Structure 1
């Protein structure tokens, strides 16, 4: 990945931005890092039932109709009414655990390490 970075802008309702900021703070991330991580997670697909078998995304790397997300929303709402925040939590409920597992695996394989001095994770270049 290149060190060159470009700005991407989007507009969301104030309530959504507040929820994203709260989740970013809980994960110790900047809001930009949080949004970037969520977009990448979405492009890789979601697991339907929280199991370890994620749904494979479209080979083009996109899910233009959002079918997988729609299935997760339907599954979450099958038990009744959920607020926006409850729905967001239901759809992303296993993300923190999956992220921790991924980081553990990458660290075990010497691909990523935590750098306390820098205050975050870094990719190990071979």
Structure 2
């Protein structure tokens, strides 16, 4: 990963920020690390399940069923203690597997293809 980082700002209700800070503290993470990890985990959760369209996130930002990242972290830690790096790998590795499956499905449905000349995946023109 590159050391070239950029700042991103967002505004959330004070109660939500307090909850995020509490979760970050429980995990021994900075709030920036927590939000970055949460966003990546959330993107992983928007899968194609049965239709060709990705699920839409809840615009309210609420998650009444619990944080999917929390569930994955608990599952990863259910066997043994993990270091920060091992925990990130456990969560990211799962995402990489899902991404590969999604890319395969999109290629099977002729929605994307790998184009070596363009250096990566491209959308198929409809």
TM-score range, shorter chain: 0.5 to 0.7
Q: Which residue of 1 aligns with 2:86?
A: 86
Q: Which residue of 1 aligns with 2:24?
A: none
Q: Structure 2: any 5+ residue segments left out of the alignment? A: 1-5, 9-29, 50-54
RMSD: 3.9
Counterparts of 1:1-126 in structure 2 under 5 Å? Answer: 9-10=7-8, 39=39, 42-45=42-45, 59-60=58-59, 62=61, 67-126=67-126
* CA gap 1:40/1:77 in 2 versus in 1, 3 angstroms: closer
* CA gap 1:124/1:88 in 2 versus in 1, 3 angstroms: same
Tell me if structure 2 keeps the 8 A contact 1:44–1:61.
Answer: no
Aligned residues: 90
CA distance in 1, matches of 2:40, 2:87: 20
Tell me if structure 2 keeps the 8 A contact 1:43–1:57.
Answer: no
| Deviation (angstroms), 1:62 | 4.2
What SS does the corresponding residue of 2:102 show, helix, strand or coil? Answer: helix
Q: Structure 1: any 5+ residue segments left out of the alignment? A: 1-7, 17-34
Larger radius of gyration: 2
CA distance in 1, matches of 2:41, 2:70: 15
| Deviation (angstroms), 1:41 | 5.6
TM-score normalized with structure 2 length = 0.52
CA distance in 2, matches of 1:104, 1:81: 33
CA distance in 2, matches of 1:117, 1:101: 23
